[in-house]
Amino acid sequence: MKSDDIREAARRLAPIAVLYDFRLDQCGPTARGVYWNNEAGQRLRFEVLLGVIDLKDDKGGISLNDLGCGYGAFFDFIASRPLMQDSRYFGYDISEGMVREAARRIRDPRAQFGQSLMATREADYSFVSGTYNMKLDESDRDWAAYVEGSLRDLWSKTRKGLAFNMLCATTKKRKEHDLYYADWQEFHAFCVKELSPNVTVLRDYPLAEWTIYVHR
């Protein structure tokens, strides 16, 4: 991102960071603490996201960026898997409380956490789970522009594959005005045009959202 874009993103995200700090105080390091309904849905999202990893990398020796890492649930999910053998994980979050909690809970030397609105390191794979869902009072148009800028920046720091999920614009449960519901077709077109022609959309899992994989 350019410096002006970073400043504007920081302005947009500041009240969201406060909200997540408050939620963590209320619910603790749980799925509900990051506004998911339950752990089962959270785990399913993680499983879907992991599908972006090439088979040859399933045995480890890779690096991962997790943008919007919260209290470190994704690292918990993958810590004991073969893909983390000799691998590194970098988690980033805008919430100071979330980053502090992740670092307190997870002392694994393979994991590092930092407060940031963007990835600061290059990695083989990058993940974004739920990070773009909360927009508060931002207009859909302005929020979409922010998300696209964020994805461009993350892709520039991704060597092999990027996976991200978003709430589906067609869901019948679309009731919350502070959440962003995205059109998968629009983001598919954006990814093909701006990131890579190698794009896959997943919509066949039982959650009111979709996931996109982008590969080099």
**What average pLDDT does range 132-158 have in this prediction?**
96
User: 3-215 belongs to which homologous superfamily?
Assistant: Vaccinia Virus protein VP39 (3.40.50.150)
Q: How does pLDDT run across 71-130, given as a tens digit for each residue?
A: 999 999 999 999 999 999 999 999 999 999 999 999 999 999 999 999 999 999 999 999
Q: Mean pLDDT over all residues of the chain? A: 94
The 3 state secondary structure assigned to 134-165 is ECCCCCHHHHHHHHHHHHHHHHHCEEEEEEEE
Instruction: Name the token pair of 6.
Output: 């970073």
Q: Residue 122: left if φ>0, alpha if ψ -120 to 50, beta else—which one?
A: beta
Query: Tokens representing 126?
Result: 């990058």
Which whole number is the average pLDDT over 132-154? 95
pLDDT tens-place string over residues 156-196 = 999 999 999 999 998 756 667 899 999 999 999 999 999 99
Quote the CA–CA distance of 84 and 94 in Å, as a whole number: 25
List Cα–Cα distances, 185 to 36, 121, 170, 203, 207, in angstroms: 24, 29, 11, 11, 17
Average pLDDT over residues 7-27: 92
pLDDT of residue 37: 86
Predicted local distance difference test score (pLDDT) of residue 176: 72
DSSP secondary structure code for residue 80 in this structure: T
The whole-number pLDDT of residue 173 equals 61
Residues 6+ apart with CB under 8 A from 61: 85, 86, 87
More confident residue, 70 or 9: 70
* Inter-residue contact 209 to 128 (CB < 8 Å): no
The structure tokens 């694994």 sit at 108
Residue 7: pLDDT band with limits 50, 70, 90: confident
pLDDT at 53 over 90: yes
> What's residue 33's pLDDT?
93
Domain ranges in the chain? 3-215
